[in-house]
A and B are shown apart, each in its own frame.
Chain A
Amino acid sequence: RKEVEQDPGPFNVPEGATVAFNCTYSNSASQSFFWYRQDCRKEPKLLMSVYSSGNEDGRFTAQLNRASQYISLLIRDSKLSDSATYLCVVNQGGKLIFGQGTELSVKP
């Protein structure tokens, strides 16, 4: 079993759609949680950190459920520029463990 598992994707959605990504992690000792975005052939960039209380940044909302070891990302009102691969990431003592990523393609 992979340490971090994500929806396989790809997700193909029209502009304006709401899309949700889910992720589970296996190590309950994981300390902090993130969503990274990676554009084609580029480096990953931090999209947002994820907290148990939930956090929102504009159209993006992230949620963590420690009891279920589950992380989610919701994107509202999708834009063409949101097309990318979204990586679920957990921190274990400074070591980042990545999911395989979920590809999102937003179409006009």
Chain B
Amino acid sequence: DAGVTQSPTHLIKTRGQQVTLRCSPKSGHDTVSWYQQALGQGPQFIFQYYEEEERQRGNFPDRFSGHQFPNYSSELNVNALLLGDSALYLCASSLVGTGDFTEAFFGQGTRLTVV
């Protein structure tokens, strides 16, 4: 059973560019959440997708957007990259469905460096 997979694992971008990160959830999971983890900090919630819609959003600007596909996979897009966007981006999948929370499984993350 494949766990949560993210791609790419590492990425270097220039300020002002746009980036797309991808996530495939654990088999049987219907919900994908994205987190940003800066060095030395805990992960910060960006947003969550369920049934192809953004269900919740954290305190991130509109430059951060996402999408969920019918197969539950998800993308995170960041426009107009800033140096401060450099971080580990984590995808977590869970089975929320009815609203009851179950354990969240994390992918290995995408390490984004903005230069």
Which chain A residues have a beta carbon within 8 Å of chain B's beta carbons? 4, 31-32, 41-46, 49, 87, 91, 93-101
Chain A to chain B contacts (Cβ below 8 Å), 10 pairs: A4-B42, A31-B101, A42-B109, A43-B109, A44-B43, A93-B99, A94-B55, A96-B33, A96-B35, A96-B92
Please state if A94 and B42 are interface contacts (CB–CB under 8 Å). no
Please state if A95 and B48 are interface contacts (CB–CB under 8 Å). yes
Please state if A101 and B42 are interface contacts (CB–CB under 8 Å). yes
Complex Cα–Cα for A101 and B58 (A):
19
Q: Which 3 A-B pairs give the minimum distances between C-beta atoms?
A: A98-B42, A43-B106, A100-B42
Which chain B residues have a beta carbon within 8 Å of chain A's beta carbons? 31, 33, 35, 40-45, 48, 55-56, 58, 88, 90, 92, 94, 96, 99, 101, 103-109, 111
- Residues on B with C-beta less than 8 A from A45 are 106
Complex Cα–Cα for A94 and B111 (A):
24
Please state if A96 and B104 are interface contacts (CB–CB under 8 Å). yes
Complex Cα–Cα for A75 and B108 (A):
25
Complex Cα–Cα for A49 and B102 (A):
11
- Residues on A with C-beta less than 8 A from B92 are 96
Complex Cα–Cα for A31 and B102 (A):
12
Please state if B41 and A100 are interface contacts (CB–CB under 8 Å). yes
